[in-house]
Structure 1
Amino acid sequence: MTPAFDLQYSITTWIQESAQELPDFPENFDPVVRPADPRFGDFQANGVLPLAKQLKTNPRQLATALMEKIAAHPSLSEEHFDLTIAGPGFINIRLKPAFLTAWTSAFNDPDRLADGLDHLYRGKTVVMDFSGPNTAKQMHVGHIRSTVIGEAISRLLSFCGAKVVRDNHIGDWGTQFGILLLACKRFGFDFDQDPVTALPALEDLYRQGNQLVEEDPEAKSEARQELVLLQNGDEERLEIWKKINELSQGAFNDLYRRLGVSFDLTLGESHYRDQVAGVCEQLESLKIAEESDGALVVFHPEHPRFNEQPFIIRKSDGASNYATTDLATVAYRCEELGASEIIYVTDGRQQDHFEQLFLTVNKWFAASGKEAPALRHVWFGTILGEGGKAIKTRSGGSVKLRDLIDEGVERARLIVDEKNPDLPDEEKDSIAEAVGIGAIRYADLMQNRTHDYVFSWDKMLSFDGNTAPYLLYAAARIHAIFRKAGLQPGEGEEQGDALQTEEEILLARQLALFPAAVAQVTQDLRPHFLCTYLFELANAFSSFYNANRVMVDNPAEQGRRLMLCSRTLLFLKTGLHLLGIETLEKM
């Protein structure tokens, strides 16, 4: 048989097809196939027990009948699988060495891996809304979570067949620009600076302007007038506003480049400023929004938490807000981008906002006779410093993202200098950049995103445990095996025979779980599942390598072990790339 890449998906299909030949199984039977405890098998089907309860019949008898049909399935063979029943009707599936050999051998390039998983999101257009810094302000440590989680999910969904549109919904419109315009007029500003140096200077300018309006009522009134002129399209103010945003975007892009993050669109709040009035009119005409205390709001009385907490879409002074802009953004993404799903990546403090937004969108689209997109809020916890408090600089300010990245690279360079003092400086710099930035983003991604975590340089730069340096070193070690053999990864495996040793089989079984790990991430949008898988894969390879010499005299034995080395490298590289981390050939 030709093995399928996503075994969990294939086994599910085989069981469903087998179940249709039995009268007790409904057409929509879900066998609930999951990776199993390794003591019992590689995969386990758990769907018989709930069906037996529903039918009030013996689950083991039902499972036995199903197992007999599965064993006779034309895509299965006794040479490839062992089927057993455990407990109250759980069906265990164990992959045999012959099948594991064929499966591992078959999937030898990234395109084949992606093709084998594109059924997970094929045909969907997903708009990813993440990062979202405010212009005229430096990105700080809080932006790292949204940026790296959003990029990882974007890569994973694209890998699984989705058309992903990355939209950086920056904060480029609002009251702060009245203060900035006033400060530019009072103190002047050099717009010809390099963006990286200009952004801190813009922050200082804003602080000067803010202090001015707090101390001088006339200055406060003037700042409001500057904002009104900007909002009314005054050319002089618009030109300054554009320059501020261009400098800000230049500084953001420099950081995104270093992080390996890219966007298809950067449509900030300003893009929707002419559309918010129409949104309010529609919601009011559809009887979804109503006036309350001078504001336009949407009530959700059916929701236990929001029955007395209105969703304000126009403030009592007539101004729009985040809710109005977000509603206009949903409409644009559906009408102009064809979004079937929109995913927002923000911190957990915005949960209520997005829950109310999603409720409002669903009512709006239903009343308009349109199908609403799937809306998902990928929220995350806080990065903590020592003592369990929010991470800050020694002076108590927010840690700038650029400073954090620079420090990570500097710390990694010290490690490179210590471990490989004879490397050329250029190569040391390249390794330090990859390890330092990889360590920061992996330390974030390996956490369950809804948890807070304590930031620790010592832990994230360690070569022991579930860290980027450990995984990068595992990949570099495999490259070294091929260099020493005078081969490229993928070469020398042609004469390999079936897997034999315990460590070979355990490593192949771990490789076969890669699709299930990716599928779990796409279901829950939690990248830490993939991190855990890669760490376990690196451990399985280490056990294999410590117990089995690769370069031996027997061509068949050497061939199968080179094949395992090559596939492990491919899966590590692919998995780390999906997380936004590029591997190194030398460390």
Structure 2
Amino acid sequence: MRSVLDELTVRMQEAIRAIGLEGDPLVRVSQDQRYGDYQSNCAMGLAKQAGRKPRELAARLVEHLRVSDLCEPPEIAGPGFINFRLRPDFLASLLGGIPPVSEPAGRRLGLSESDDPETVVVDLSSPNLAKEMHIGHLRSTVIGDCVARVLEFMGHRVYRENHVGDWGTQFGMLVAYLLRVRPETADNPDGLVIKDLESFYVEAKTLFDRDEAFKKEARETVVRLQRGDPATRRIWKAFCEESLRHCHRIYDRLGVTLIDRGESYYTELMDEVVARLEKMREKQDDGFVRISDGALCLFMEGFKTREGDPLPMIVRKADGGYNYATSDLATLVHRVEHLGARRIIYVVGAPQKQHFEMLFAAARRAGWVGDDVQLHHLAFGSVLDRNGRPFKTREGGAVKLKDVLDEAVQRARRVIEQGSKEGRINRSFSAEEADRVAERVGIAAVKYFDLSHALNTDYRFDWDTMLSLEGNTAPYMLYAYARIRSIGRKGGVTFESLPADAPLQLEHPAELALARVLARFAETVQAVARDLKPNLLTEYLSELAKAFSRFYDKKQGVRVLDAPSEEVRTSRLRLCDLTARALKLGLGLLGIETVEQM
């Protein structure tokens, strides 16, 4: 089933072609309800091609538009805008035709999967296993998870790749420190437990910086590790597995699943990538691959230093060692050649912009990535404190993500207790139920607050805002869903058993307003999948929750359980059910679980 936006776009395209023109229909959701539900301003762009004034062209287009089954007669406004207002009977038919939740199509709210499913890699989270996850890992983890969920929902095959940092000189230091302070690890590496990874790293680094003997010992350990010494590798593996256990406790709380594939996974492929480049250097004389100051470098057009000199991408250092560029090229080759990816999305902070531009250019220049593969750096801004400064502890260190989630749950528990005193939240929660709801609400608040911000901007981390029971927040969305479910319990109604063939009656302005928002669910999810912008979904859910609040309001809205007739009651209960299902599905795509009571 096409979304309303897609259907109007097709109809508009047909009208454009009917008058002998070609161009983008430019159909968009109207920003002002006074001008209808959707709007097209294509007449302005096509006027020059047609040799007419925009308003005259708009009139010709309207003559050829065939939308009477969807809309009231289109209106022309201003210099040539074409406004569409959906017919109530069309909305009733569209929403009434959504199958019950017991059917697969009903669980998707009638939204079809992509006609052209692809294999997609989403590169997300990717912490350094030498340390604990901190607040800086939040955005990549939850944004990447949301993007993966939406693409999976649309029918794509998605690999959620956690490209963890598990290789390099720092691991030689950590293994050497382990052997010094816990020598028993050499005999029983599988029994390794480290309660505080961050403190362990700081202790090792402090010793490395002040003790020359230990520094030498660490460097020798790196050599043994890279040469594949079995004993050193066993201890290194045990450390990485212990660090990953710390990470997966966080992932479990966030509801995130992924495939751990660290830098070490690609060590052999890095050798192969360098060998391929060496062959190119021997055969080509265009300067793409060449030796510079003893290092093997790639030079792509368009990349310059501040002085205007060609900017190299070093793939093998003068001492023969590899770096992030080598690892990332090998990873990219693996994803294209072994996983068969046709779309690769790197969810990484904005400061890495140039690195990914060079990486993508190098891979295409080398011929390893063709035009049929999309490479996308999904960049995002930083998390700041309430005053707009970098989010750090009082001591100036990185804020552990575990501590953030713990505090979120504690604060959510206080919000629940306060809401209970005010009568807004269920008073009958047992202590165990309150803990469960607090965990879900607290985690949801952190995730939703992050996802509600535009990716390309920094945002200020604000506990009071994210945990508010009002506004565009997770607690309010969860409350809105739970409130609808409580309507069913109050009326002795099982939403799932409502007759699927009962017609929707959309007459009251609040009914129509809610129906219009519900009708946009499909196109919103499609837009998130296309543009990779989770905040489009949070904005939609906020609008939906507000529309339902007005619908159910005693003064602005309608009576539901005590509706004037059984037919109207059933119709309004079906609208309640569709709203709850849209909220639950939308929150699920954000990686947020709902609660039935709150």
TM-score (norm 2): 0.91
Look up the match of 1:237. 232
Q: Which residue of 2 aligns with 1:461?
A: 467
- Offset, 1:199: 4.4
Q: Which runs of no fewer than 5 residues in structure 1 stay unpaired? A: none
Shift in Å, 1:307: 6.0
8 Å CA contact 1:511, 1:571 repeated in 2: yes
8 Å contact kept, 1:5–1:113: no
The residue that corresponds to 1:411 in the other structure is 411
Q: Does 1:569 align with 2:580?
A: yes
Decide whether the 8 Å contact of 1:118 with 1:162 is kept in 2.
no
1:409, distance to aligned residue in structure 2 (A): 0.8
How far residue 216 of structure 1 moved from its aligned partner, in angstroms, is: 2.4
Aligned 8 A contact 1:43 1:94 in 2:
yes
Name the amino acid aligned to 1:435.
Answer: V
Cα distance in 1 between the residues matched to 2:591 and 2:74:
38
Report if the CA contact (8 A) 2:315-2:325 is conserved.
yes
Equivalent AA in structure 2 for residue 507 of structure 1: L
Is the contact made by 2:336 and 2:369 (CA closer than 8 Å) also made in structure 1? Answer: no
Whether contact under 8 Å (2:120, 2:343) holds in the other structure is yes
1:102 Cα deviation from its structure 2 partner: 1.0
What are the residue-to-residue correspondences of 1:164-175 with 2, within 5 Å?
164-175=158-169
RMSD of Structure 2 on Structure 1 (CA): 2.3
Quickly say closer, same or farther: Cα 1:509–1:454, change in 2 above 3 A: same
SS of the counterpart of 1:145? helix
**Distance across 2 between alignment mates of 1:120 and 1:66:** 30
Quote the Cα distance in structure 2 between the aligned partners of 1:573 and 1:370. 39
Equivalent runs, 1:182-221 vs 2, <5 Å: 182-188=176-182, 198-221=193-216
Cα distance in 2 for partners of 1:471, 1:227 equals 50
Pick closer, same or farther for the CA change 1:519–1:46 going to 2, 3 Å.
Answer: farther
Aligned to 1:12: 9
Distance 1:227 1:30 in 2: 58
What displacement does 1:423 show? 1.4
Q: 2:437 aligns with which of 427, 431, 437?
A: 431
Corresponding residue to 1:474 among 475, 480, 490: 480
Partner of 1:556: 567
Counterpart check, 1:448 vs 2:442: no
* CA drift at 1:13: 1.7
CA change 1:222–1:189 in 2 (3 A) is: closer
Report the secondary structure of 1:95's partner residue: coil
Name the structure 2 match of 1:506.
513
Q: 1:61 to 1:116 in 2, by over 3 A?
A: farther
1:158-169 residue pairs with structure 2 within 5 A?
A: 158-169=152-163
Task: Work out whether residues 412 and 438 of structure 2, in 8 Å CA contact, stay in contact via their aligned partners in 1.
Answer: yes
Which one is further off, 418-427 or 349-358?
418-427
Residue 348 of structure 1: aligned partner? 350
Q: Structure 2: where are the runs of 5+ without partners?
A: 421-425
Once the two structures are superposed, residues 375-405 of structure 1 have per-residue CA deviations (whole angstroms, 9 ceiling, x without a partner) of: 1111111111132211112222211111111
Measured in 2, the distance between the counterparts of 1:575 and 1:497 equals 23
Deviations 1:340-366 (A, max 9, x none): 01000111111111111111112122x
The 5 A counterparts of 1:172-321 are 172-188=166-182, 198-263=193-258, 265-286=259-280, 287=284, 288-303=288-303, 308-321=310-323
Cα distance change of structure 1 residues 199 and 153 upon mapping to structure 2, 3 Å threshold: farther
Give the C-alpha shift of residue 61 in structure 1. Answer: 3.0
1:388 counterpart SS class:
coil
Q: Answer yes or no: is the 8 Å Cα contact 1:129–1:167 preserved in 2.
A: yes
TM-score by length of 1: 0.92
Answer whether contact 1:172 1:245 (CA < 8 A) is retained: yes
CA-CA distance at 1:319 after TM superposition:
1.1
Q: CA 1:395–1:285 in 2, change beyond 3 Å: closer, same or farther?
A: same
Which of residues 519, 526, 532 in structure 2 aligns to 1:519?
A: 526
In structure 2, C-alpha distance between the alignment counterparts of 1:201 and 1:582, rounded to whole Å: 29
Say if 2:31 is the partner of 1:25.
no
What is the rounded CA distance, in whole Å, between the counterparts of 1:138 and 1:209 in structure 2? 14
For the residue of structure 2 that corresponds to 1:88, the secondary structure is coil
**Counterpart amino acid of 1:234?**
D
Match of 1:484 in 2: 490
Of the candidates 43, 48, 60, which is equivalent to residue 43 of structure 2?
48
- What is the CA–CA distance in structure 1 between the aligned matches of 2:393 and 2:294, rounded to whole Å? 42
**Within the alignment, does 1:144 sit opposite 2:138 as a pair?**
yes
Cα displacement (A) at 1:535: 0.5
Partner of 2:60: 65
Matched, 1:82 2:76: no
Structure 1 residue 459 displacement after superposition: 0.9
Contact 2:3 2:522 in 1 (8 A): yes
Distance 1:382 1:190 in 2: 41
Change (3 A) 1:372 1:101: closer
Counterpart of 1:377 in structure 2 is 377
TM-superposition CA deviations, 1:393-452 (whole Å, max 9, x none): 222221111111111111111222331454112211111011000000011000112111
The more displaced of 251-260 and 83-92 is 83-92
Letter in 1 for 2:243: S
Using the alignment, how far apart are the partners of 2:504 and 2:533 within structure 1?
37
SS at match of 1:252: helix
How far, CA to CA, are the matches of 1:170 and 1:13 in structure 2?
44
| Separation of aligned partners in 1, 2:81 and 2:566 | 41
Identity of aligned residues (%): 43
8 Å contact kept, 1:97–1:499: yes
| Deviation at residue 337 of structure 1 after TM alignment | 0.8
